[in-house]
Structure 1
């Protein structure tokens, strides 16, 4: 009640709003199908009766809203998917489930050792426990778009009867099975500057803004079964959870 509120509204609607609304409606109504290529700027400008500058402003907002995506040298494509979004009832690996394009390759490397202090705290485990730690890099079209670091107490690896000498079973454990085992999860989201522990995996410069999610997975007795740290490039992801 003590806050001062100042209105800067001059009652002028930007010229690109109308064209944005028209293209948005056409996308939602299926005039432009998900995955299809949007017509060129000259064609769109003529169709909607606007200047190319006004059209570009509308396309910029549509891109920010993740309804379209520009692919260098190829054109602009529709990315609107009404079914996209992870139901709150599902616990998932967001690097896979929320990618705007299909993950075509995952490279994993893992080892064993004592838990870090923060892993002890987050998972509620003893310093004497052994933890499996896995670095995973996610590729789409040959380009890395996401990275995860997953820590799992070995007793849960044993509980799932995973043969870690089998590459397929190790892959399934850190990307699918540990999420299926979880009864609940706690997530935190941040936008952070990329640092040395991430830049090599994502092949980006230091300080590049990236999305960071920490997800703690809990078992049926509320015990911590995994700590997952996810790093991914904002332009390649839609983080949508349906509540």
Structure 2
């Protein structure tokens, strides 16, 4: 027998999908919904909480529960640039570079990028936007020898396209995702509250050559309410 809260979950989800509750719309209070479904507020809260966890609804303390805004989605398959992901969704991608420096790779960067101790890299810190809405904060590390002949503008604005135009074929990537709580500094960059939930992504990208040379090591923090990853098999 299906639990009552699951039936309520399914009905509310159906109402969202049918547009009865539109994106950004505030839902009735828990008391009103509990009365509508003829259940206790605890049961109703279980249903709402499960929808929040799925990203269909979002709670704003002091304001209520709302239908979550449309989120950027990325397939966890292959290696795709952020710029291409955003363009494919009909949105305009932009970036704000916070820092761009040539420096010696640290121990972790040497390990991930298969570099010798003391090797030079470009370490780039930037915020990525979709239609001027901040989506993620990232720090990218790139072996300097691979991009020494490229202009800074080409690296910061369309890195993958620059590589492909230079005859480099992009191959696979390794990605690890975890849930985190954003700190004060990053929260400011992403226009969210300190302590908000974010998705932390660690990615190593490789060229499609025989040796599968790693060309990029990236640490990203995505706003959970604005971006989601999904698997396709």
- Is there any run of 5+ residues in structure 1 with no aligned partner, and where? 1-10
Over 3 Å counting, the alpha-carbon distance change for 1:179 and 1:113 in structure 2 is same
**TM-score normalized by structure 2?**
0.69
Over 3 Å counting, the alpha-carbon distance change for 1:79 and 1:44 in structure 2 is farther
Over 3 Å counting, the alpha-carbon distance change for 1:121 and 1:75 in structure 2 is closer
Higher strand share: 2
Task: Work out whether 1:171 is the aligned partner of 2:159.
Answer: no
Following superposition, the deviation at residue 225 of structure 1 comes to 0.4
Contact 1:110 1:134 in 2 (8 A): yes
Task: Work out whether 1:185 is the aligned partner of 2:170.
Answer: no
Task: Work out whether 1:37 is the aligned partner of 2:22.
Answer: no
Task: Work out whether 1:226 is the aligned partner of 2:216.
Answer: yes
2:6 paired residue number:
17
- Is there any run of 5+ residues in structure 2 with no aligned partner, and where? none
Alpha-carbon distance in 2 for matches of 1:187, 1:87: 8
1:132-186 per-residue CA deviation (whole Å, 9 max, x = no partner) reads 101123468988663211001123324xx6321x4xx343245x54797531111
Task: Work out whether 1:216 is the aligned partner of 2:201.
Answer: no
Following superposition, the deviation at residue 235 of structure 1 comes to 4.6
**TM-score normalized by structure 1?**
0.66
1:122 paired residue number:
112
Alpha-carbon distance in 1 for matches of 2:92, 2:46: 30
Following superposition, the deviation at residue 88 of structure 1 comes to 1.4
Alpha-carbon distance in 2 for matches of 1:20, 1:74: 17
RMSD: 4.0
- How many residue pairs are counted as aligned between the two chains? 215
Q: Aligned with 1:183: secondary structure?
A: strand
Alpha-carbon distance in 2 for matches of 1:120, 1:183: 20
1:8 paired residue number:
none
Following superposition, the deviation at residue 129 of structure 1 comes to 3.5
Alpha-carbon distance in 2 for matches of 1:148, 1:172: 14
